[in-house]
Amino acid sequence: MPAAESGLKAGDLLLEIDGKDLKGNSDVGTLLRGQVGTSFKLKVQRPGVKEPLEFNIVRRSIQMPTIPYYGVMDGQVGYINLSSFSGNPSKDFKKAFLDLKKQGITSLVIDLRNNGGGLLDQAVEIVNMFVPRGKTIVTTKGKIKQASNTYKTLREPLDTDIPIAVLVNSGTASSSEILSGSLQDLDRAVIVGNRTYGKGLVQVPRSLPYGGNLKITTSKYYIPSGRCVQAIDYAHRNEDGSVARIPDSLTTVFHTAAGREVRDGGGVSPDIEVKQERLPNILFYLVRDNLIFDYATDYCLKHPAIASAKEFELTDADYEEFKNKVKGADFKYDQQSEKILNTLKEAAEFEGYMKDASDEFKALENKLKHNLDRDLDYFSKDIKKMIAEEIIKRYYYQEGAIIQQLKDDKDLDEAVKVLTNPERYQQILSVTAVTAKKE
């Protein structure tokens, strides 16, 4: 990135662009952007440095990587993180996969979590790497003939035998659902994680005056089993944005190539569902108040270099230092238990129970009253992980952050387990798995 290559660091306070004072200026983003090849002078104040620093930055076109990280996990399991379907991700995916094959992988994990989609044809290209030529991957159906198309695999595959697991969650949408859903329908991969978003619509952008755009829905897409992953009800979702439970009576049963039952109307359901751990409220407040960000900035000033992203660990002494900074700040936060208790008190007041239960409520209120020292210790695992991730990003950027996240990843652990157990893998992908569920 031009800014990083010029010497700019996270935590630097922007003061001036080409001599223009930025204090209270809401157009900083506009001032930073410009024609490729042009340059601008940026003056910043760096924490721990007395005098302002000045950088000359040359603008250039920035293409975010579609595959920010790939590597080999335990058990010779390959891992590819596919973050979007913009640009030409199939080319990058092929390069990563062939490189992993050279390193001797015997199975593959494709991570589509929080991949919001993009180009439909790129999803088809990636599916084509693992299924034979001539397979129908997706069909779009609209009210007019021009909106209806069929997309098939047109090339010879790279590998039709390697076991595959695909990681998905509520942020997996659109083209990501084509990729994961097609591999599921063709019994070519085990899907691990949580139900996907449920976006089964094809939308075409239309230009409007004054630089505006309007997306028009022209058709729905259907994956190999014939189902559409479009969510029946967008209005009612879970707190994490995932599709709420849809009654079976409102959905239709379809079948994979091997005869396994799959349903429409609410995204792609995983073959192996992994329960997601809830993050504590205090962590959100620490992030909101920039306490983790500021600690990482101070940490980097004291440490010119750190261990590799895979080996880096935040020490107990580091965490004690962070705790002292939090306790020295005017830090205020709420706990979920307090919010629920207040809701219960309101209900008791409304229903006339408060008078008889007031002593019990006061006792419970005292028991649940949050204690900063206690909460920082009790939730230290989650907080330390977030701090470590923020620090690693300063040295190793997005790739390093992903490596850090994978060190404690339940979805990935489940994927590796099933890929290193051929008998279980084959059982999940066979129709006998459906029969066993019914029994």
* Catalytic center residues: 174, 185, 199
Low-confidence stretches of the chain (pLDDT beneath 50): 435-439
- Tell me, what's the pLDDT at 75? 86
Per-residue tokens: 56: 């000359």
Per-residue tokens: 28: 């900083």
Would you say 199 and 280 are in contact if contact means Cβ atoms under 8 Å apart? no
Would you say 31 and 57 are in contact if contact means Cβ atoms under 8 Å apart? no
- Tell me, what's the pLDDT at 245? 62
Round to whole Å and give the CA distance between 109 and 87: 22
Contacts of residue 311, Cβ cutoff 8 Å, sequence gap at least 6: none
Give CA 93 to chain center in angstroms: 18
Q: What is the CATH number of domain 69-276?
A: 3.90.226.10
Burial 113-126 (b: 16+ CB within 10 A, else e): bbbbbbbbebbbbb
DSSP string, 76-139: GEEEEE---BSS-HHHHHHHHHHHHHHTT-SEEEEE-TT---B-HHHHHHHHHTTS-TT-EEEE
Q: What is the CATH number of domain 2-58?
A: 2.30.42.10
- Tell me, what's the pLDDT at 439? 42
**Closest Cα partner for 135 from 119, 109, 118, 157?**
157
- Tell me, what's the pLDDT at 435? 44
Residue pointed to by tokens 């210790």: 377
Per-residue tokens: 363: 């006792």
Contacts of residue 90, Cβ cutoff 8 Å, sequence gap at least 6: 122, 125, 126, 129
**Closest Cα partner for 429 from 438, 439, 418?**
418
Would you say 172 and 115 are in contact if contact means Cβ atoms under 8 Å apart? yes
- Tell me, what's the pLDDT at 243? 58
- Tell me, what's the pLDDT at 257? 96
pTM for this prediction: 0.88
Would you say 174 and 117 are in contact if contact means Cβ atoms under 8 Å apart? yes
